Amino acid sequence: MAEESTPKETAAETAEKKPEKKSAEKAATEKKPAAKKAEKPPKLEDKPFNEFMEQDYLPSLKTAMAKAGVDDLTLEFAKRKLDLVGQSDTEPYWQVQGQWEAAGEGQRQFNVAFIDENITGQKVFTLASNGGKPSTVEQFMGDERRITLDLLVGYTVQRLNGQKWLTRN
């Protein structure tokens, strides 16, 4: 039994075969169709303004205020004129108006007015107590570049808390 000897490949022959394998692998991967990227669901904040306000902001604000101890909050979203002391004729703006009875302290009311009919546009805040008209208009969230539902709710609650309407210091 004689052992058969096989000729050994030269280094050049081996090098020639390797690129063929790589190019065949590349060709196989190139033929595969590109996987579709999963589409991101649209952000809540990208909804149409009225839809976002009614479906997302008002329920979230009511929930946050309930956590802060305000159970009888009435929220209304409507286009109306800013009702201010000393001012009789203004343009109507979309506003969120909240009212509740504070135990032993009378009725409380706040408004968040959206001047540009857009959550990222200019907003103002007013408040009044005991059925009176607001006397001051304050810029609301003017420094925020990116407005989200959580920020909008959080700033509203923070502003009311700053007035000492939700908790005492």
User: HSE-up of 167 (CA within 13 Å, CB side)?
Assistant: 10
What would the two tokens of residue 5 be? 């000897």
For residue 69, tell me if it sits in a domain.
yes
**Do the beta carbons of residue 111 and residue 126 sit within 8 Å?**
yes
Count how many domains the chain has. 1
For 145, the token pair is 């570049």
Does the residue 64 lie in any domain? yes
Q: Which helix (H) or strand (E) holds 99?
A: strand 92-102
Burial 56-65 (b: 16+ CB within 10 A, else e): bbbebbbebb
Residue 58 inside a domain? The answer is yes
Within 10 A of 30 (CB to CB), how many other CB atoms are there? 8
Could you report the per-residue pLDDT of 9-46, keeping only the tens digit for each? 565 555 555 555 555 555 555 555 666 777 776 677 77
Residue 38 lies in a domain: no
Render pLDDT for 47-74 as a digit per residue (tens, 0 to 9). Answer: 888 898 999 999 999 999 989 888 888 9
Range of the domain at 100: 53-162
Q: Tokens 């009044």 map to which residue?
A: 128
pTM: 0.68
- Please indicate, yes or no, if residue 19 is contained in any of the structural domains: no
C-alpha distance from residue 101 to each of 38, 90, 165 (Å): 48, 28, 11
Has residue 152 been placed in a domain? yes
Instruction: Tell me if 66 is assigned to some domain.
Output: yes
**DSSP letter assigned to residue 128:** E
**Tokens found for residue 12:** 């050049």
Average pLDDT over the chain reads 78
Is 48 in a helix, a strand, or coil?
Answer: coil
Q: Report yes or no on 24 lying in a domain.
A: no
Q: What pLDDT does 59 receive?
A: 94
Mean pLDDT of 122-133: 85
* Span 95-99, average pLDDT: 91
